[in-house]
Amino acid sequence: MDKYLARNSSFELLRIISIIMIIVLHYLGYSILDNVNKFTLNYYLTYFIESICIMGVNTFVLISGYFLIMKDKVNIRKVVDLLIILAFYGFIFYFWMMLVNKTPFNIKDLIKSMIPFWTGKRWFVRTYIILFLISPFLNKGLRELSKKSFEKILFILILFFSIWPSFFPYPPVTDDGYGIINFVLLYTIGAYIRLHYKNDVKVWKYIFIYILCILGTYLGRLYYGYTWTYNFITNIMGSVILFLIFSKLKIQSKIINYIALFVFGIYMVHYDIQIQDFIYGKLLRCSIYSNSNGLIIHIIFSITILFLVSLLVDIIRSRIFNIIINPIVDRIKLLNKEIE
């Protein structure tokens, strides 16, 4: 079988849609939401779009739980590759902005750019790596559970780490779903769907529930004020329903599967902390469109350009790595070991 047909294109398409949602979140979050005039058409539109796209992040973790649950071991090489790509883009973007801004070279700033975890950046990559490394141990425990026991642990996780922080004060975790707890919760849901869930619900019913989740997040944000967190219950539910919708689709496409290979690269390119002011401020000039009649057109144009350029950049990076970097890493046995 062609290597690009080896994966289920329905889930690969969901990965692509999820990264587009994340690009939209970063676009709106840069300067649009803070500057849009309240109670205008743009205000309601951007809040609605944000309420849809906030669910994109969770779907990545659900997909991981769904597929990784059957694995007894994971290869450290995948983590190594992510870290090398992260360092590569940090290196490139540091020197690019050094030239653009005409600032002097600083070795400490370069290191911080290549290892952004030290300054609290790239939270998703950091948390995802932790989840990936502990996944073999989670898998062994979760696969041993009966369906009934699995549902009990899911109920406990959802109750304490989603429902409680959504509606009640002093929750056990106050990271708004950015940490490993929410990732483990989502991973566990994805694993449950793979192991125990009978997906026999009609798609239209899923779509109806998904719309309700979006409206719950949207109206909650307008009138309740605290729904744009990854662990808010409507966002957890919405991402699960979105996942289940795509699990019902029967799509097979080499193009979709090929593009999906680069979603992490697209994530790293389009919103690096060093270039966001240059991209979103100087090039796209997002702030001046907050209250413009052309906001929606600008959103569509900007997201399309960001996606396509980031994709092209990472395809080029991938080809360079295949020639220079990957052959070197292949020879280092320590970097290719498995955790089990």
Domain boundaries, the chain: 3-7+58-262+313-339
Tokens describing residue 229:
């967190």
Please write the tens of the pLDDT for every residue from 164-218: 999 999 999 989 999 999 999 999 999 999 999 998 899 999 999 999 999 999 9
Rounded to whole angstroms, how far apart are CA atoms 172 and 175?
Answer: 10
pLDDT-derived band at 1 (thresholds 50, 70, 90) equals very low
Q: Helix or strand or coil: residue 75?
A: strand
Please write the tens of the pLDDT for every residue from 154-167: 999 999 999 999 99
Question: How much of the chain exceeds pLDDT 70, in percent?
Answer: 98
CA dihedral (245, 235, 166, 47) positive or negative:
negative
Burial 86-112, CB ≥16 within 10 A → b, else e: bebbbebbbeebbeeeeeeeeeebeeb
Which helix (H) or strand (E) element contains residue 140?
A: helix 123-144
Contact criterion met (CB below 8 Å) for 59 and 186: no
Q: What is the pLDDT of residue 118?
A: 82
Give the dihedral of Cα atoms 169, 170, 171, 172; nearest 10 deg: -170
Measure the N-to-C terminal CA separation of the chain; round to a whole number of Å.
28
Region 8-16 average pLDDT: 95
pLDDT-derived band at 304 (thresholds 50, 70, 90) equals very high
196 burial type by CB count under 10 A (0-12 exposed, 13-18 middle, 19+ buried): middle
Rounded to whole angstroms, how far apart are CA atoms 147 and 111?
Answer: 47
Tokens describing residue 24:
């939209």
Q: Which residue has the higher pLDDT, 211 or 120?
A: 211
The set of residues, in sequence order, having a beta carbon less than 8 Å from that of 95 and lying 6+ positions away, is: none
Rounded to whole angstroms, how far apart are CA atoms 224 and 299?
Answer: 26
